[in-house]
Amino acid sequence: MSTAITDAATVTRVPVTGKEKRLLRHAMMPHMLCPGCGHGIILDAMLSVLSERYDNLDNVAFVAGIGCSSRIIGYIDACTLHTTHGRPLSFATGLKLARPELTVIVITGDGDGLSIGGNHLIHAARRNIDLTCVLLNNEIYGMTGGQAAPTTVLGAYTTTTPQGNTQHSFDAAELAKAAGATFVARAQSYRPQVFGEVFGQALDHVGFSFIEVMSDCTEYFGRTNRFGGGADMLMSQARYEPSIDADLARRPTVEPIADAQPVRPVLPTGLLYRSSRLTLEETMGIKGARSSEVNETGQYSTDQGRDA
Amino acid sequence: MRLIQGNEACAEGAIAAGCRFFAGYPISPSSEIAEAMARLLPKHGGVFLQAEDEMASLGAVLGASLGGARAMTATSGPGFSLMQEHIGYAYLAEIPCVVVDVMRGGPSTGLPTLPSQGDVMQAQWGSHGDRAAVALAPSSVQEVYDLTIQAFGLAESLRTPVTVLFDEVVGHMREGVELNSPDPRSIGSRPRPTQPPGASFEPYRANEALVAPLPDFGRGYRFHVTGLMHDERGFPTTDTSIVAALLERLEKKVQVVTELVEPESYLMDDANLVIVSYGITGRTAKAAVDVLRSKGVKAGLWRPRLLWPVQDGLLKEALAKAEAVVVVEMNRGQWAREVERVAHNDALLHPLLKAGGAVITTEEVIDHALEVADGLPAAASRRVPLAEAVSWTEGKNQARMVVPASTTAKIGATEVDIEKKVGGE
């Protein structure tokens, strides 16, 4: 079922319809992302998906924390809530419980969602609250100047790891799955089409859906580790992703390549895990919430991504 | 009339004020508020969420509030510390909410089950940056009910976080309470935009009351909310003049509260010895005033129900005729600093301070006030500087609160007085 999104050869580019432009908050432009940053690609892909579904985003709320990733919600013409560092999921939980009819999308980063906000991530997943969380992982703290993040791989250079990172990194997707997320996917800024596909599925999924997006930070992660510019970093995502069917439990590690720089070897991407259970709204008996029964109508089944 | 606990009265007041969302994390001595909300909210179509920590509690409250719900959380010292970032966020982003802090002894884990009034300064200054806090201080179970209702009214109509601050004794004390249906005016309402949704809507353009109308999320108004400094569109800005104007507006906006919350004045007309106290110690002091009057001391009580912002004008008026001012509080001198600031005359001040978890008894207030009264009008020479003020009654609590010898030595001129007090009891 999910083979289409797994085959790199079939993925070319996001169709440019121009529809997504009307969902932008033009008054907020110009944006603050660096040249070569992958976050804008994901913003564009996200709006493309939403523009196929909605004429406007009156009933979609974006909630984000602090960091480069979180700033992208400011460019979306919706109700956008730019919260405190690490806490967007807590704000989103309150908003969703008070207004279950709204589509709530949380944008977070690897520092925001896995370090300072790690507790909120695992509890949102545990509760299976019906919202979508997109975590843009650029493997570094970009906004504060390139410090090591909990996703920075072992050995990588950052401004706080001048001799190379000595801490192991998180596998965000594995963490979300273990904590109880009922939809887990991983995408890359290199293949916005894959992101678009899993993002659409995540919106349809009733329950806590989590997408980790491997993005790139050219200014800090790329420069410090001599990965080249934005295009080089995107190409590195392509080179080291031969299959999405690899073991989800496999952690990103550093393996030396020809030029002896640390890189991620293989990261499974695409839909990684899917299951169905009652959402927080259902267990609380909140009126106006979606029913998780649709998850089980045959449209979805558990672990398809891994069987593909 | 019902016999209930202060914490239960807080929950009842919240429900009566229309609160339909509560998120909280267990902590003594405030947990009964969460327990009562868990019981009451489903009956009123509301949502109770036990959150993973206090930051998540207030975060969820703010999210629910933007969705349109009247929302509250309750906690105690350590949790109040954790909430400070979100209190600052709510202030700057102008999101209505009520935060209840049932004070226990601190700092740190401190005294989870013993009372204190040690979070008074934290309620104003706990969050970083300049912020004009609003904090109410009930002294009885009835007042917990009434002031919780008023807290919602102020939070909603002013778009700002409001703290309800009481201590473990008020929280756990049981008294008869009239659960009156609140006056709709005291419940207040959120100012709403009059213009229809559209690109020209500016979520932070204030009205004549300096409050910006707030639509709910998901009702057609698409807008941005951020904890960054922002312009009237809600967009981030570092324009220093815009930021300065915003901070000024936010501070001015809440000043109206000083006209909306009545202090209690008891036998103040001819009083030359004015006791200033709030919360549970305000009640202790009131009983003491009656005894002092029977002994011929012209004592009076001024009890603020609003601790922040300070009602400078009313306090100044209350102190105008005073020859001595006794500030009674269960901490090492927090609100006393505000009284000192407003009085602007150190010679008047004779604080009775006590930290360590024991309540201040009526007898202690009487003893202290009599001592002060004896010395009038020469009381000035017997003054203990605030910074070095030590509870006059520590002698009674040697086991709980030991005063190191060096403390008395440093006090210098007042050493004899202190020693006499500590040693003589």
Q: How far is B338 from chain A (nearest CA, A)?
A: 31
**For residue A250, is pLDDT > 80?**
no
Query: Is-contact A279 A206, C-beta < 8 A?
Result: yes
Nearest to B312 by CA among B353, B333, B340, B334: B340
| Band of residue A264 on the pLDDT scale cut at 50, 70, 90 | low
Query: What three-state secondary structure class fits B155?
Result: helix
Question: Do B147 and B282 belong together in one domain?
Answer: no
Look at B421 and A93; give whichever has higher pLDDT: A93
* DSSP string for B24-38: E---TTTHHHHHHHH
Q: Does A31 touch chain B (CB under 8 A)?
A: no
**For residue A101, is pLDDT > 80?**
yes
Query: What three-state secondary structure class fits B376?
Result: coil
List, in sequence order, every beta strand (DSSP E) within chain A.
57-64, 78-82, 103-109, 132-137, 183-188, 209-214, 255-256, 262-263, 270-274
Q: What is the DSSP letter of B219?
A: S
Q: What is the mean pLDDT of residues A185-214?
A: 94
Q: Which residues of chain B have a CB within 8 Å of the CB of A99?
A: 67-68, 216-218
Q: What is the rounded CA–CA span in Å between residue A102 and residue B22?
A: 19
Q: How far is B217 from chain A (nearest CA, A)?
A: 6
| Band of residue A232 on the pLDDT scale cut at 50, 70, 90 | confident
Q: Which of B67, B222, B236 minimises the CB distance to A99?
A: B67
Q: How far is B180 from chain A (nearest CA, A)?
A: 27
Look at A232 and A58; give whichever has higher pLDDT: A58
Q: Does B66 touch chain A (CB under 8 A)?
A: yes
| Band of residue A239 on the pLDDT scale cut at 50, 70, 90 | low
**For residue A10, is pLDDT > 80?**
no
Q: What is the DSSP letter of A116?
A: I
SS (H, E, C) A20-85: HHHHECHHHCCCCCCCCCCHHHHHHHHHHHHHHHCCCEEEEEEEECCCHHHHHHHHECEEEEECCC
Q: Which domain holds residue B400?
A: 264-424
The contacts of residue A133 (CB under 8 Å, 6+ apart) are A89, A105, A106, A108, A113, A121, A124, A176, A208, A209, A210, A211
Note the pLDDT of residue B329: 97
Residue B351 lies in a domain: yes
Question: Do B278 and B415 belong together in one domain?
Answer: yes
Nearest to A104 by CA among A113, A90, A92: A92
Structure tokens given for A46: 């996200």
Nearest Cα residue in chain B from A82 = B226
Domain boundary (B141, B172, B187) is at: B187
The dihedral sign for the CA sequence A281, A283, A288, A289: positive
Q: Which of B57, B71, B223 minimises the CB distance to A79?
A: B223
Q: Does A50 touch chain B (CB under 8 A)?
A: no
Residue B214 lies in a domain: no
CATH of A3-307, one of 3.40.50.970, 3.90.78.10, 3.50.50.60, 3.40.920.10: 3.40.50.970
CATH number of B161's domain: 3.40.50.970
Structure tokens given for B291: 């005894």
Q: Does B236 touch chain A (CB under 8 A)?
A: yes
Q: What is the rounded CA–CA span in Å between residue B303 and residue B294?
A: 20
Q: Does A184 touch chain B (CB under 8 A)?
A: no
Residue B168 lies in a domain: yes
Q: Does A279 touch chain B (CB under 8 A)?
A: no
Q: Does B400 touch chain A (CB under 8 A)?
A: no
Would you call B231 exposed, middle or buried from its count of C-beta atoms within 10 A (0-12, 13-18, 19+)? Answer: middle
Instruction: Return the residue in B222, B229, B230, B231 with the most chain A beta carbons within 10 A, the one to mutate for interface testing.
Output: B222
Question: Do B398 and B283 belong together in one domain?
Answer: yes
Residue B193 lies in a domain: no
Q: What single-letter amino acid sits at B250?
A: L
Rg over alpha carbons for chain A, rounded to the nearest Å, is: 18
Cα angle A133, A136, A138 (rounded to 5 degrees) comes to 160
Question: Do B270 and B150 belong together in one domain?
Answer: no
Q: What is the rounded CA–CA span in Å between residue B97 and residue B141?
A: 21
Residues (pLDDT < 70) of chain B are 377-425
Domain count, chain B: 2
A98/B21 Cβ within 8 A: yes
- Looking only at the bridges linking them, the beta strands covering B174-177 and B2-5 are antiparallel
Structure tokens given for B67: 């969705």
The contacts of residue B266 (CB under 8 Å, 6+ apart) are B286, B289, B300, B301, B302, B303
Domain boundary (B169, B187, B205) is at: B187
Domain ranges of chain A: 3-307
Nearest to B134 by CA among B170, B160, B101, B171: B160
Q: Does B201 touch chain A (CB under 8 A)?
A: no
Nearest to A17 by CA among A63, A52, A55: A52
**For residue A222, is pLDDT > 90?**
no
ipTM computed for the complex: 0.89
Query: Is-contact A221 A71, C-beta < 8 A?
Result: no
Note the pLDDT of residue A14: 52
Cα angle B211, B122, B24 (rounded to 5 degrees) comes to 75
B199/A120 Cβ within 8 A: no
Q: Which of B60, B64, B217 minimises the CB distance to A79?
A: B217
Q: Which of A27, A98, A285 minimises the CB distance to B68?
A: A98
Q: How far is A102 from chain B (nearest CA, A)?
A: 7
C-beta neighbour count of A35 within 10 angstroms: 9
Q: What is the rounded CA–CA span in Å between residue B159 and residue B234?
A: 15
Q: How far is B53 from chain A (nearest CA, A)?
A: 9
Q: Which residues of chain A have a CB within 8 Å of the CB of B96?
A: none
Residues in chain B: 425
Structure tokens given for A294: 């649709």
Give φ, ψ of B251 to 5 degrees. Answer: -70, -45
CATH number of B355's domain: 3.40.50.920
Query: Is-contact B261 B306, C-beta < 8 A?
Result: yes
Note the pLDDT of residue A5: 36
Query: Is-contact B417 B360, C-beta < 8 A?
Result: no
Q: How far is B346 from chain A (nearest CA, A)?
A: 42
Q: How far is B73 from chain A (nearest CA, A)?
A: 12
Q: What is the mean pLDDT of residues A126-137?
A: 98
Give φ, ψ of B159 to 5 degrees. Answer: 55, 55
Q: What single-letter amino acid sits at A73?
A: I
Q: Does A116 touch chain B (CB under 8 A)?
A: no
Domain boundary (B187, B211, B234) is at: B187
Nearest to B174 by CA among B140, B147, B218, B202: B140
Q: Does B60 touch chain A (CB under 8 A)?
A: yes
Determine the distance from the C-alpha atom of residue A215 to the mean position of all C-alpha atoms in its chain, rounded to a whole number: 9
Would you call A26 exposed, middle or buried from its count of C-beta atoms within 10 A (0-12, 13-18, 19+)? Answer: exposed
- Looking only at the bridges linking them, the beta strands covering B2-5 and B299-303 are unpaired
